[in-house]
Amino acid sequence: MYNSIQGGHIEVICGPMFSGKSEELIRRLRRAIIARQRVQVFKPGIDSRYADDEVVSHSDNRLSATSVASPSQLIEQTHYRTEVVGIDEAQFFGPELVGVCERLANRGVRVIVAGLDLDWRGEPFHPMPELLAVAEMVTKSQAVCMVCGHPAAFSQKLSGEAVQVELGSSERYEARCRRHFEPEERRQLELLRAREEARRVPTRDDDSPVA
């Protein structure tokens, strides 16, 4: 469908963690490369979980990328002949990203953006809502709930600090459906304490003598 849009435009791929957002971004960008279009890929410098110079999906699909500290640096490093720009983990950029994407689209660039639409509290993760509003095409991906196996639209935080931005993967987050999503900070802390206490409980060998 997105190939039928002519000229510059914005595509947004959003959803929770583990929903295949980066995978889909990489797929679209590779198709553009196969079509011999001039492609540049960017990622926020804050995200160094897997690689500094690659976009990496959770299934270990990789594509070379340039790390930038800000949206202004992104547009400065976009070559004037570039036809397609890919941006991963867009939620880690500030509100300036919206204007940068529109400037690129207005000059004829196809801009493909991937990012979390909700944070671990279940609240909008800016600037994604603003990007969704101005995009010509939006793809909402879903993950699999790690509790019941149903489609999941939320990112459950399992450990860490009560801050919006905290990098991590499956050791810190998991996908949840609405029924099993626990966004309240108090509940999050209760779950964390329960897990920590469970780890401290010594296991007893069935063959050991009972006192």
Catalytic residue set: 89
Q: How far is CA 63 from CA 2, 112, 143, 156, in A?
A: 20, 14, 22, 27
Q: What share of the chain is helix, strand, coil (3-state, %, to 5)?
A: 30, 25, 45
Sheet strand arrangement including 66-68: 66-68, 39-44, 84-87, 110-116, 9-15, 137-140
Q: How far apart are CA 104 and CA 125, in angstroms?
A: 22
Q: Which two tokens stand for residue 176?
A: 């949840």
The C-alpha angle with vertex 188 and arms to 123 and 128, in degrees rounded to 5, equals 20
Q: Which amino acid is at 44?
A: P
Q: How far is CA 69 from CA 75, 92, 94, 168, 209, in A?
A: 11, 10, 10, 19, 60
